[in-house]
Amino acid sequence: MADQFDMPKTYDPHKVEDKWYKHWEENKYFRSTVDPEKEPFCIVMPPPNVTGQLHMGHALDNTMQDILTRWRRMQGYNALWLPGTDHAGIATQAKVEEQLHKEGTGKYDLGREKFLERVWAWKEQYGGRITTQLRRLGASCDWDRERFTMDEGCSDAVLEVFTRLYERGLIYRDYYITNWCPHCQTTISDIEVEHLDKPGQLYYIKYPVKDNPEEYIPVATTRPETMLGDTAVAVHPEDERYRHLVGKTVILPLVEREIPVIADEYVEPEFGTGAVKITPAHDPNDFEVGRRHDLPSVQVIDKEARMTDEAGPKYRGLDRWECRKRIVKDLQSRGLLFKTEDLSHAVGHCYRCASVIEPMLSKQWFVRMKPLAEPAIAAARDGRIKFIPERFTKIYLNWMENIRDWCISRQLWWGHRIPVYYCRDCDEMIVSKTPPEKCQCGSTNLEQDPDVLDTWFSSALWPFSTLGWPKKTVDLAYYYPTSVLVTGRDIIFFWVARMIFSGLAFMDEVPFREVFIHGLVLDALGRKMSKSLGNGVDPIDVIESHGADSLRFMLVTGNTPGNDLRFHFERLDGARNFANKIWNASRFALMNLQDYAPEKSPAREQYTLSDRWIISRYQRAVRDCTEFLEKYELGEAARVLYEFIWNELCDWYIELVKPRLYGKTSAADREAAQHVLAGVLRGALELLHPFMPFITEEIWQRLPHRGRTVMRASWPRYNADLADREAEEQMEMLMEVIRGIRQIRSEMNVPPGKQAEALIVTGAPQIREVLNSNLSYVESLANCRAEVLAQLADKPEQAATAVARDVQVYVPLRGLIDVDRELARLNKELQALEKDLARVQGKLNNPNFLNKAPAEVVEKERGKEAELSSKAGAIKERLAMFGE
């Protein structure tokens, strides 16, 4: 390429990222097709909602998936990262209804068919936003395979699963307490309810005993509005306080309805008053008690969260909160409310709209979970599925072992409509994938169930529905089970568990071998990012300001499996600095490779100590990075690369090799330096590519290379023969000497351009030999004239010293700095430190201060004392060196 060596002075990610992504996508480098000769590696993307836009959680999750996919692809696996989006029933319908509201109309005005046409049009217009944003992040998905939970194939899988589960007796319809969202106007599952601690009150109410108005049972409740639907009061069978009342009746306050006193072990005698009101239509536990005792269910709150006719004429039509106030006032006026207590208690909220959930009795469709959960439990216990970190196995098992039946029906129009048909003439129910022509009674007067399936019902099938199931496709046979699922800890129950039992139920095989769990991205204060707090950070804004590579690298570094990550802009700046460091180092390398002939491979004996050292350190980086990736320690793998590239390659080797590149040695020596620099830099870029794909491609293309793209280059392999422990130890000793001289120069304020004298003393002949053979490294990088000695007759006057392993370094300062001025400066600084130290110690020796000051203030002063003492001691050591 003509401009191969003409790199711009500064790195501009905007000029690089879009260019290379288009190149990758146009050349189908992300494409994966069945190849029996290659081992597959498959990840299915957790499908983001079509209503969504990229947030930091998505950015972290997809960066990790991309790292694993790019790495395995370079290792030679037939890597498939299968993308797709979720139809997001509640959220998408809400978006379209919001549009209609602005137009002055609603879904009922349009009717179901026309409304669904509007939703599909909305999806076509806005549904691709998040996949476009994922491209900007660098996601190397096989976009030709992109799926949607309501496309034809996925929809066929949903209908197939429903009918099969029904035929196996695992789907049923019944009245049950469900979580109703008055705002979204649909049921939601138990795990879609967020329980938030809210301030409230506990109301103590008298329930008078029939035929004995002087006696009552005290009942405590946080929801007095539901008492209008009470059908019993329950006590524990062994509670002596109330045993004589079991079997009798009490009068329900305000309603004047007689309700029985029942005995049930569900009641905890120690909690509250030991007597609880039973409202089967509005509480899941009460519903179970009602079933055991054959109690009626009285529904007093409707789907709009308003009081029903059953609540009585005085309360009918009131909002539930207004009704609560009215009831409390009425109870007080009748002397039936004898106490209230403030308390904080968990209140269920809809995780989508944050409305308070209303437990409500309704007829819904359910999946019977116990038979499906048992194989999924066994798969985790016997190791067919492995959670990373392992601690999440226990969390998963605990939920699965206590699982409740899953309410799968939703009162929406957008989604997979339940494939159940009702005959209006004979009430027959028909479950069928395709609409039946007529009922067994001969009637064609059929009506389909109006509800749709829970969105998670379709996404539970994602690992196999996206590969063609229920058809027996070649893709399904080759890629299933997938290799690993990468997901956040917050959807283990929403999605992971459901995919596991679905895969076992319909494929007789787990959907993935490993589940890699990562934490959440929190703000700098450790809070969850949310719209309400206004603390979210838009990944696209970050890509605009810092580049996608910087965002990706920041999200991964310091990240450990399963743990949350705090977002700090300082760390983001650090990642951008790393990109700039790589760019500048590569630019220097390319300027010195214009006459490089890669086909000329130097003999190993031509390599210098620094060559052998950097080759060995590169091999260890290959080994460590690969091992960490195998263990899903992506943060540690990134750390290894950062330290190798920044510290060893850029800060040390490039500086060490400059004299040879500048032609100050032989032509053969320069060729060897070019060969090592080009090879190690290219290998480092290949290791870094999964983490920072754009900048690595841009630079790799300019270096001598084989192949058309770095993303299809072979992943570097560790070569033990090139790992040179002796070279590493020798070079480390030299680096310590150089660091020691540099530190002396820094601490003594030696002008950067002034050359120092350095006496390097060691009694070890082998070390002297290494030092003498490589003295140019010390002199070049420490800007000094150095002499290696076996021993020193007399210690030089006014010399600073440093220790490096078995080596003593002396740097005479006379003539190097103005000693008198330095002495004056040090004495002045010491006086100031001692004055501050005396003041702090005076405080710490004062009993009044120690007794009255807060503990944290005292501790802060102790810290100051330690810091000042340390600084003063260091200055005294320097003064002693000058003989003062």
| Annotated binding-site positions for ATP | 531
Instruction: Classify residue 711 by its DSSP letter.
Output: G
Q: Report the C-alpha gap between 565 and 797 in whole angstroms.
A: 53
C-alpha dist (Å) from residue 794 to 545, 741, 768, 791? 59, 20, 19, 9
Closest CA to 188 of 48, 321, 417, 359: 359
Question: Rounded CA gap, 592 and 610, in Å?
Answer: 18
CA distances from residue 662 to 588, 655, 674 in whole angstroms, order as listed: 12, 11, 11
Secondary structure (3-state) at 130: helix
Kindly report whether the peptide bond that precedes residue 389 is cis, defined as omega within 30 degrees of 0: yes
Are 557 and 575 a contacting pair, CB within 8 Å? Answer: yes
Strand partners, 453: 409
Q: What whole-number distance in Å separates Cα of residue 264 and Cα of residue 881?
A: 86
Distance CA 103, CA 99 (A): 7
Whether residue 470 is preceded by a cis peptide bond, meaning omega within 30 degrees of 0, is: yes
Read off the tokens for 290.
Answer: 């009602």
User: Cis (ω within 30 of 0) for the bond into 296?
Assistant: no
DSSP secondary structure letters along 823-870:
HHHHHHHHHHHHHHHHHHHHHHT-HHHHHHS-HHHHHHHHHHHHHHHH
Q: What is the dihedral of CA 618, 620, 623, 625, to 10 degrees?
A: -70
Residue 357 near residue 348, CB atoms below 8 Å: yes
- Binding residues, as ranges, are 531
Partner residues linked to 817 by β-bridges: 814
Residue 530: φ, ψ to 5°: -155, 160
* Strand partners of residue 616: none
Neighbouring C-beta atoms of residue 738, cutoff 10 Å: 24
Radius of gyration of the chain (CA): 37
* Cα–Cα distance, 635 to 554 (Å, whole number): 10
For residue 543 the two structure tokens come to 């890509």
**Among 652, 654, 646, 511, CA closest to 592:** 654
In 660-817 the beta strands, taken as DSSP E runs, fall at 756-761, 784-789, 799-804, 807-812
Q: Sheet containing 420-423: which strands, arranged edge to edge?
A: 429-431, 420-423, 446-448
Find tokens 């008053």 and name the residue: 273
* Structure-token pair, residue 241: 């306080």
187 vs 192: CA distance, rounded Å:
10
Calpha distance 520→489 (Å, rounded): 8
Helices 693-700 and 667-688: angle between axes, nearest 10 degrees: 150
Q: What are phi and psi of 707, to 5 degrees?
A: 95, 175
Contact 640, 625 (CB under 8 A): yes
Q: Helical H runs in 334-461? A: 370-381, 391-401, 455-459
* DSSP, res 307: B
Residues 6+ apart with CB under 8 A from 300: 225, 226, 228, 229, 281, 282, 307, 308, 310, 311, 315
Q: And the tokens for 430?
A: 């028909």
